[in-house]
A and B are shown apart, each in its own frame.
Chain A
Amino acid sequence: MNTKKIEEKIFKGLMIGSSVLIFGVLLYILYIIIKKGLPSLSWEMISQIPSGGFYLGKEGGILNAIMGSLYLIFFSVVISLMVSVPVVMYLNFTLRKKSRFSAFARLTFDVLFGIPSIVYGAFGFTVMIFFGLQASLLGGIIAVSLLIIPVMIRSIDEVAILIPVELIEATKSLGATNYETIKVILRQLLPGISTAVLLSVGRGIGDGATVLFTAGYTDSIPTSLAQPTATLPLAIFFQLSSPIEEVQNRAYSAALILTVIILLLSFSARYFSRRFSKNKI
């Protein structure tokens, strides 16, 4: 009788311990990033491009990386939306509920979701060579779009599944075509799509391995799709290895900025999905 209780106590202790440990690690990561990044964060840092080279120049900031990442993620999200929204609509509202094709499609997207970003980067690079493209904003956009399309599809699909059949039937019984029905459903799905966009922005903006070969790196802000562009993750990665302290500080403040962006995205995604679950029919 007693050993039963003792065993339970030991394991419960271990469980609480490991939960606290995982929570602690999260706090520790945030603490280290803030502690290292905050002292070197200044207006100059976020409003200027590096001068004298990103690896050696002591002056300037990381505006090139901030703008580069924003350009990159904006175009990638637009492209991904144009692919993922129709895919989810097709799987959920055009095909029958239990079609084999949609099961196969979902499995494929799950697998695509699991493919590491370095493989997307390497594949994107071969495609670029095939078309004779240099490392450029365009190349980066292609690779990042490939990376976030599965993220977006899975995330929108999760909420699309929850749309009640009655809503579809009500629309169709009024004589609406499939396309018109989808327009009605899309309005219902907007919060879900916003969550999906926020999630994919987070995934795309933070990933360095995809853009390593495809977008390249530069000190200036790109003015056309054909120019290479800096990105926040690579700004951290490259500048961290520099022997010069000022350059390393740029990496730390880039890390802080990226972390803040991710935190904001994560919190607003939660906000949207909570709002959605309140309005659920």
Chain B
Amino acid sequence: MLKSRLLKDRIARHYMLTATVVAIFFLFLIGVGLFVNSLPIMQEKGLWTLLTTSNWRPFKGEFGFASYILSTLYVTGIAIVIALPLSLLTSIYIIEYASPKILRAFSSVVDLLAGIPPVIYGVWGTLTIVPFISESLAPHFVEFSTGYSVLAAGVVLAIMIIPLIISILMEVFLAVPKEMREASMSLGATKWQTVKKVVIRKSIPGIVAATVLAISRAFGETLAVLMVCGNFTDLPKSIFDACYPLPALIANNYGEMMSVPQYESALMFAAFLLFFIIVLFNVISRVVLIQIDKRYQL
């Protein structure tokens, strides 16, 4: 009787340990897998050439990622510029000003926005943002735009990363001790002065971490962007031009072009690039967020 209990305990312990180690190991497995597969193209062309040239002719053996990388950066830049101020204002409002009822209601809104699948954002973007840009907005600035553009992708992405930023910022603001706010108010500061000079100042590392996390989310977003960005391999000259970010490149070509081994390796390189940047950004921002948590936990 006793023995079988101990045996069960031991088996359970081993199973749990194995599951944990395997799950952790996946991160390294993915990294190594992508790296090994992108090694051929890196050895052949050299990292610098791949990153800085923009000629993309797979069948002639030319693989330059510059325009894809720039597209990714443009789209992400626009998304952050739109999303960050909106998320900051909104999360300050719900944490500092709003009643508990509004706080609860708004966390449902954030949850729902976060839960809507990328492809739905894509459908919505093609039905609303794209025609709006091509019919109403772009004619004021450029001669012609299909609407499938850097701007459309940026707007859709912004909406997709807003719930992520808000949910992190809410936690960051909540972590600022109440006593600090009270100290500031008791010296005669108004609510807004307290928010501006105490809460926001104390939260700067958290705000930076949230932004970095949002950037890494925006880098990797695929289907929604793919549906509204236009998928055109050329450097976009304005925000009304089509673009072609890295994830879209992988999604459009992977699995079809397996006959050209170099091509496969080049696409794996794109995936590795995304993986590398995103892991780096995630580690940095998570470590900052953990520190914030620790500092105020006492």
Contacts and interface: CB of A to CB of B under 8 A. Distances in A.
Interface string A101-124: 001110111111011111111110
A213 B254 contact: yes
A209 B90 contact: no
Contacts of A168: none
Interface in B243-268: 247, 250-251, 254-255, 267-268
A5 B37 CA distance: 60
A90 B124 contact: no
Contacts of A94: 13, 16
Contacts of B290: 103, 107
B117 A28 contact: no
A185 interface: no
Contacts of A26: 109, 112-113
A262 interface: yes
> By DSSP majority rule, is chain A's interface helix, strand, loop, or mixed?
helix
B19 A86 contact: yes
Contact of B271 (A108, A109, A123): A123
B121 interface: yes
B287 interface: yes
Contacts of B34: 119, 122-123, 126
A118 to B, nearest CB: 4
A8 interface: yes
A91 B90 CA distance: 35
B119 A258 contact: yes
Contacts of A112: 23, 26-27
Contacts of A180: 5, 9
A177 B5 contact: yes
Nearest to B93: A15
A226 interface: no
Contact of B286 (A18, A110, A135, A146): A110
Which of A19, A122, A177, A213 has the most CB atoms of chain B within a 10 A radius of its CB?
A: A122
Contacts of B254: 121-122, 125, 212-213
Interface string B207-234: 0000001001101111100010000000
Which of B8, B115, B119 has the most CB atoms of chain A within a 10 A radius of its CB?
A: B119
Contact of A237 (B6, B24, B119, B255): B119
Contacts, number: 251
A202 interface: yes
A233 B9 contact: no
Contacts of B286: 107, 110-111
Interface string A151-174: 001000000000000000000000
A207 B51 CA distance: 29
Interface string A60-89: 000000000000000000000011101101
Contacts of A225: none
A89 B254 CA distance: 38
Nearest to A5: B190
Contacts of B201: none
B97 interface: yes
A215 B71 CA distance: 28
A113 to B, nearest CB: 8
A47 interface: no
A86 B117 contact: no
Interface string B84-97: 01100110111001
Nearest to A8: B192
Contact of B6 (A122, A177, A182): A177
Contacts of A184: none
B77 interface: no
B227 to A, nearest CB: 7
A208 interface: yes
Which of B8, B19, B123, B216 has the most CB atoms of chain A within a 10 A radius of its CB?
A: B123
B23 A149 contact: yes
A73 B262 CA distance: 34
Nearest to A175: B5
Interface stretch (B60-68, B174-182, B272-280): B272-280
Contact of A107 (B166, B219, B283): B283
Given A26-B109, A33-B120, A178-B9, A83 B274 contact: no
Given A123-B271, A266-B112, A28 B128 contact: yes
Contact of B86 (A21, A109, A207, A262): A21
Contacts of A236: 119-120, 122-123
B106 interface: yes
Contacts of A213: 254-255
Nearest to A90: B16
Interface in B67-113: 85-86, 89-90, 92-94, 97-98, 106, 108-109, 111-113
12 contacts: A15-B90, A15-B92, A18-B93, A21-B86, A25-B113, A108-B23, A115-B30, A119-B30, A177-B6, A179-B12, A182-B12, A240-B123
Given A19-B93, A122-B254, A126-B37, 13 more contacts: A4-B193, A18-B93, A19-B90, A19-B106, A82-B19, A83-B19, A107-B286, A111-B286, A112-B23, A118-B220, A118-B250, A180-B9, A212-B251
